[in-house]
A and B are shown apart, each in its own frame.
Chain A
Amino acid sequence: KQEVTQIPAALSVPEGENLVLNCSFTDSAIYNLQWFRQDPGKGLTSLLLIQSSQREQTSGRLNASLDKSSGRSTLYIAASQPGDSATYLCAVPNAGGTSYGKLTFGQGTILTVHP
């Protein structure tokens, strides 16, 4: 059974710092890995999706990497801003079975960026 772990559980940094969020998964047979952002009391917003054949994906100040063989992904946030404060979740769909969208989620990293 796939298990997804995110480290750290919480992170507090001053504005302007570059930071890295970690995600690891136990079963490397995945189609892709998706990073989400969740603001308090809201749904999830998709940030980046990395296909299993890709190593990196970038969007603005966000860069996500994927090392499928070691079961790891990192989300790099450059020049953090207070508006980046949120919970960040990673999720993977397993390659087995008939559904491409059954996601297994990590428990998330709660990020706080201080002005």
Chain B
Amino acid sequence: DGGITQSPKYLFRKEGQNVTLSCEQNLNHDAMYWYRQDPGQGLRLIYYSQIVNDFQKGDIAEGYSVSREKKESFPLTVTSAQKNPTAFYLCASSMDRPYQPQHFGDGTRLSIL
């Protein structure tokens, strides 16, 4: 079955630590996205990538970094510079053309220890 796999489901970060969230898709989609969801605030775009080896900042990129070395994979690193990392992180993918639906993974919940 095609889909998007996010891991881990739950993640805990210590003070000063960088953590990496995994996102893998087997839908052969060109574009991949990372969103952050906070209670009562909807989803906000962190980073997106339209093609391998290229990515762009979204609305709230500070304190985060990404890479896109393979079409199937788009890992997100939450760095120690992100002072309020506790949130639900969602990865998505789509074909980078008009009228194409976006598909989502099941999310990773990140908390501070």
CB within 8 Å of B: which residues of A? 4, 31-32, 34, 36, 41-46, 49, 51, 89, 91, 98-103, 105-108
Contacts and interface: CB of A to CB of B under 8 A. Distances in A.
Contact of B99 (A46, A51, A91, A98): A51
Contact of A99 (B56, B92, B104): B56
A99 B106 contact: no
Interface stretch (B13-21, B35-43, B63-71, B79-87): B35-43
Contact of A43 (B33, B42, B58, B106): B106
A91 to B, nearest CB: 8
A4 B44 CA distance: 12
A89 B42 contact: yes
Given A89-B43, A106-B42, A49 B101 contact: yes
Given A44-B90, A46-B103, 11 more contacts: A32-B98, A42-B106, A43-B4, A43-B104, A43-B106, A44-B104, A46-B101, A49-B101, A99-B50, A102-B33, A102-B45
Interface of B: 4, 6, 31, 33, 35, 40-45, 48, 50, 56, 58, 90, 92, 94, 96-107, 109
Contacts of B56: 99
Nearest to B40: A107
A103 B102 contact: yes
Nearest to A45: B104
7 contacts: A31-B98, A32-B99, A43-B6, A98-B50, A102-B33, A102-B58, A103-B45
